């Protein structure tokens, strides 16, 4: 069954129920009334800061875009790229592409013009849909990608090099297009995060997308009356595949355009959210704001909030300990995945296993895992090896890249590139990315282990450990540390704190600086290496 049938079922069974809510808090931050009340008194809904659509409207919008594509000659298997910030139009456009039999190609909103061009060419995209935030970048490459034959603009004041999505879809049929779609048909191309170089185009079929729906609901038990707060960008598999649990259960989802702690807590309170997926920095910011007194939890309605889950990166156990002290009644889960395995869920901790915080968990619903050595043989429990996963959500291939595909797909198994180990109870712990392992004086250092230790220091907001060239040892570990607001920290204090680490794991250099993260929360270590492996290291604050 193609994933589009879930949308059609919801539109038929719950036509008037709210499917999606979009909230732009910056437009109504000063309002002393609720966001709903504020939206009701605004003459123009698009400027109210809060909009919503029902399941029937969602499906109708998807049908209209699908019929627009078909009227323009889009055929089954053609590629439709989506370059939008999170908004009400995002998911209807995505599903409209799928209903037309096309392949949806979400693009990272942080891409430069040259990166957009690269990804459009790599994916063989024929159509581009973009929003107002990207006018300059798209104009820069307009006419320079011969295969892109049509460009649609979502928003007011359509630029001359594009056509108005809003105007064109108004005149399109809202009936379901007559396109036959099967489980094995290609559905979407997602791009790798690009933290290790140029992004790769990851091809998935409808079976992958549908399986992610069932995996997500199995793990987090979404019901019709659940409301999911979606904050991360929809172009990424993480946000979308967690939302797939709402699609399957026909529950409401709230798209929050902003990550201020006060906005997140207010959205949970006013929209009665029950499930929230956070990235590590956002969870830390919320706790810090509460500790500073910037947020008074007694002013909010939060008793319905039942689950907080985190993914996209290793989660410091100290963070969850702090979270449970503030929110003792919350269920907690962590999810592991990668875009090649259709996002989160191929491994997950499980709400019943909070005593194993620090682990990423066990194989997720419908998935298998193993940890292997460099020859592909299983390692013993407790030994470090590469994590491999197998299941219905494994990608079809890297599009137009058979060499890279062969490097990670081995029969039914996807080699993740993540180093991990398994404890005596079968729980898997991430050690680090295979490419991030630091070899210092013949010893393997795993940055995540050092980072987790440093994050237990109450003055440290964020930390990244990278390897720097060293003439004698080959590489040494350098810790880039971002200090919490209102705290001070010296190199001597960090070195003293690290005395509890084995000597060979102690960072040889300490650098105080901000930690760059991409929109999915991953530390951009290539950027840090570029900064600190060059001449700039000389000027940095360091210690030997």
Looking up tokens 């504020």, which residue turns up?
A: 38
Distance between CA atoms of residues 54 and 62, nearest Å: 12
Instruction: Give buried/exposed letters for 256-291 (b at 16+ CB in 10 A, else e).
Output: bbeebbebbbbbbbbbbbbbbbbbbbbbbbbbbbbe
Is the pLDDT confidence value at 518 over 80? no
- pLDDT at position 472 is 66
| Averaged pLDDT, 152-180 | 96
pLDDT of residue 66: 98
Q: b vs e for 395-417, b when ≥16 Cβ sit within 10 Å of the residue's Cβ?
A: bbbbbeeeeebeebbeeebbbbb
Q: Which ranges of 380-535 would DSSP assign to H, the alpha helix? A: 402-408, 447-455, 491-497, 525-532
pLDDT band at 146 (very low <50, low <70, confident <90, very high): confident
Residue 38: per-residue pLDDT: 85
| Residue 542: per-residue pLDDT | 35
Average confidence (pLDDT) over 372-388: 93
Is the pLDDT assigned to residue 268 strictly greater than 50? yes
Note the pLDDT of residue 538.
36
Segment 233-255 shows an average pLDDT of 93
Q: Which two tokens stand for residue 190?
A: 């997602």
Residue 314 has a pLDDT of 66
Phi and psi (nearest 5°) for 222?
Answer: -60, 135
Euclidean distance between CA atoms 478 and 481, whole angstroms: 10
* Per-residue pLDDT at 525: 81
Confidence of residue 536 (pLDDT cuts 50, 70, 90): very low
Q: What pLDDT was estimated at residue 198?
A: 73
Give me the mean pLDDT over the 493-509 stretch.
89
Give me the pLDDT at residue 239, please.
Answer: 86
pLDDT at 397: 97
The answer to whether the beta carbons of residues 423 and 439 sit under 8 Å apart is: no
Burial, 496: exposed, middle or buried (Cβ in 10 Å; 0-12, 13-18, 19+)?
exposed
pLDDT in tens, 74-109: 999 999 999 999 999 999 999 999 999 999 999 989
- pLDDT higher than threshold 90 for residue 471: no
Q: What percent of the chain has pLDDT over 90?
A: 69
Which pLDDT value is given to residue 544? 29
129 contacts 84 by C-beta, under 8 angstroms: yes
Average of per-residue pLDDT across 204-218: 96
| Alpha carbons 466 and 438: distance in angstroms, whole number | 7
Terminal-to-terminal C-alpha distance of the chain: 60
281-325 pLDDT, tens digit each: 789 889 999 999 999 999 999 999 999 998 766 677 888 999 999
User: Strand ranges (DSSP E) for 221-367?
Assistant: 227-230, 252-256, 275-278, 307-311, 331-338, 343-348, 362-363
The answer to whether 19 and 39 are in contact (CB under 8 A) is no
Predicted pLDDT at 194: 52
Level-2 CATH architecture, domain 437-539: 2-Layer Sandwich (3.30)
pLDDT for 520: 62
Give the rounded distance of the alpha carbon of 82 from its chain centre. Answer: 16
Q: Is the pTM of this model over 0.75?
A: yes
pLDDT of 374 strictly over 60: yes
| Mean pLDDT score, 399-417 | 95
With residue 470 as reference, give the H or E element that holds it. Answer: strand 460-470
Give the C-alpha distances (Å, rounded to integers) separating 356 from 315, 321, 422, 424. Answer: 12, 12, 12, 12
Q: Choose between 406 and 500: higher pLDDT.
A: 406
For residue 312, what pLDDT is reported? Answer: 63
User: pLDDT > 70: what percent of the chain?
Assistant: 94
pLDDT interval class at 422 (50, 70, 90): very high
Banded model confidence at residue 412, pLDDT cuts 50, 70, 90: very high
Query: Domain residues of the chain, as ranges?
Result: 437-539
């Amino acid at each position: 069954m193609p994933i589009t049938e879930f949308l059609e079922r919801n539109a038929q069974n719950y036509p008037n129920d709210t499917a999606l809510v979009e909230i732009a808090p910056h437009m109504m931050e000063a309002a002393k009334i609720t966001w709903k009340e504020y939206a009701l008194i605004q003459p123009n809904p698009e400027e109210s800061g809060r909009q919503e659509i029902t399941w029937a409207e969602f499906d109708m919008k998807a049908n209209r875009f699908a019929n627009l594509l078909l009227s323009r000659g889009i055929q089954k298997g053609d590629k439709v790229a989506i370059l939008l910030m999170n908004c009400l139009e995002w998911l209807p456009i995505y599903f409209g592409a799928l209903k037309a039999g096309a392949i949806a190609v979400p693009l990272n909103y942080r891409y430069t013009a040259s990166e957009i061009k690269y990804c459009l060419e790599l994916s063989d995209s024929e159509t581009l849909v973009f929003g107002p935030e990207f006018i300059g970048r798209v104009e820069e490459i307009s006419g320079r990608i011969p295969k892109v034959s049509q460009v649609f603009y979502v928003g007011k004041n359509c630029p001359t090099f594009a056509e108005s999505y809003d105007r064109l879809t108004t005149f399109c049929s809202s009936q379901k297009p007559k396109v036959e779609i099967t489980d094995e048909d290609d559905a979407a191309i997602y791009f790798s995060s690009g933290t290790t170089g140029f992004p790769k185009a990851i091809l998935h079929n409808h079976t992958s997308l549908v399986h992610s729906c069932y995996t997500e609901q199995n793990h987090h038990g979404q019901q019709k009356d659940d409301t999911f707060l979606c904050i991360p960008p929809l172009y990424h598999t993480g946000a979308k595949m967690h939302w797939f649990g709402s699609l399957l259960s026909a529950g409401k989802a709230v798209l929050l355009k902003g990550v201020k702690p006060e906005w997140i807590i207010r959205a949970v309170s006013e929209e009665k959210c029950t499930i929230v997926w956070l990235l590590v920095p956002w969870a830390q910011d919320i706790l810090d704001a509460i500790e500073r007194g910037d947020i008074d939890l007694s002013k909010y309605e939060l008793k319905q909030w039942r689950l907080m889950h985190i993914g996209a990166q290793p989660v410091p156990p100290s963070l969850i300990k702090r979270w449970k002290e503030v929110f003792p009644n919350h269920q907690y889960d962590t999810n592991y995945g990668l875009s090649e395995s259709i996002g989160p869920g191929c491994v997950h901790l499980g709400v019943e296993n909070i005593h194993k915080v620090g682990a990423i968990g066990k194989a997720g619903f419908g998935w298998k895992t193993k940890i292997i050595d460099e020859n592909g043989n299983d390692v013993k429990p407790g030994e470090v090896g590469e994590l491999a996963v197998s299941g219905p959500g494994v990608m079809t291939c890297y599009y137009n890249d058979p060499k890279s595909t062969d490097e990670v797909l081995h029969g039914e198994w996807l080699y993740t590139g993540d180093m991990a180990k398994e404890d005596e109870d079968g729980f898997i712990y991430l050690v680090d990315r295979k490419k991030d392992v630091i070899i210092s004086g013949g010893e393997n250092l795993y940055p995540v282990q050092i980072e987790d230790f440093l994050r237990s220091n109450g003055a440290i907001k964020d930390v990244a450990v990278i390897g720097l060239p060293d003439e004698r040892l080959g590489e040494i570990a350098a810790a880039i540390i971002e200090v919490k607001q209102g705290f001070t920290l010296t190199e001597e204090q960090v070195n003293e704190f690290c005395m509890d680490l084995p000597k060979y794991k102690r960072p040889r250099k300490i650098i105080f600086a901000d930690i760059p993260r991409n929109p999915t929360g991953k530390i951009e270590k290539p950027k840090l290496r570029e900064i600190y492996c060059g001449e700039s290291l000389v000027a940095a604050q360091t210690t030997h």
